[in-house]
Amino acid sequence: MAVMVQHELPLPFAEWFSDDPMRCDKDLTVTMVVSDDPNVVEAALRAGRLSCGCGSRLAPWGYGRSRCLRDAGGQTRPQRPRRARCTACGTTTVLLADWSLPRRRDTIEVIGAALLAHAQGVGHRPIAKRLGVPEGTVRGWLRRVRKNAEWLRVWATVLAHDCDPLLHPIRPTGSPVGDTVEALGTAAKALKLRLGDRGGWPTIVALTHGRLLGTRSL
């Protein structure tokens, strides 16, 4: 199953978010989290199955700039996201694969490994050394997820029980980050069981609309 959800985020670096989730603006670039399979995304785009916030159809509109993201095991992963444009309001959209996050140079597997390690009590320095990522980068991830911890935990807990009404209460871990990671993992597993999604961190990226390390809640 390909999970496709959308959120508004101007690119590349501005911190502005619309107060109206349906706002469209031809001078605004938004990001849509899509499947990791480019063939699935391309087929959906050309068939008119992807829509803008205004409800109109998105059409192909070239590609974003190429870059390489740090991946697990010290590898790099190339990325050249597809772009689309609304046929009605002219808003442009970057279709970002669910293995990455907006404005981050590392894949979600690397970021997720850092969050899991921290939830188990590991500090940012040993995490950075283990993953081959600058200490300041890891410290920034952890600082951001702490700020987002409460809304992420609540959002994931509600979603998990919506997917599985018979689910047992999610056990507390004793730390905000740990509780958040536990809730997100439980939600991803529940969705995988109900809808057949592949689960794991890519599903968490989709469930949180790419805002895992964002600057505001859903």
Contacts of 195 (CB under 8 A, 6+ apart): 1, 163
**68-102: pLDDT as tens digits:** 999 998 899 999 999 999 999 998 999 999 999 99
> Does the pLDDT of residue 3 top 60, yes or no?
no
pLDDT at 189: 92
Residues 131 and 158 in one domain: yes
What is the rounded CA–CA span in Å between residue 169 and residue 146? 22
pLDDT at 11: 31
Contacts of 218 (CB under 8 A, 6+ apart): 7, 151, 155, 208, 209, 211
The tokens of 97 are what? 């694969």
> Does the pLDDT of residue 15 top 70, yes or no?
no
Burial 181-191 (b: 16+ CB within 10 A, else e): bbbbbbbbbbb
Residues 83 and 130 in one domain: no
Query: Does 213 map to a domain?
Result: no
Write down which residue in 76, 97, 118 finishes a domain. Answer: 97
Query: Is the peptide bond preceding residue 12 cis, with omega within 30 degrees of 0?
Result: yes
**Single pTM value for the model:** 0.85
Residues 57 and 117 in one domain: no
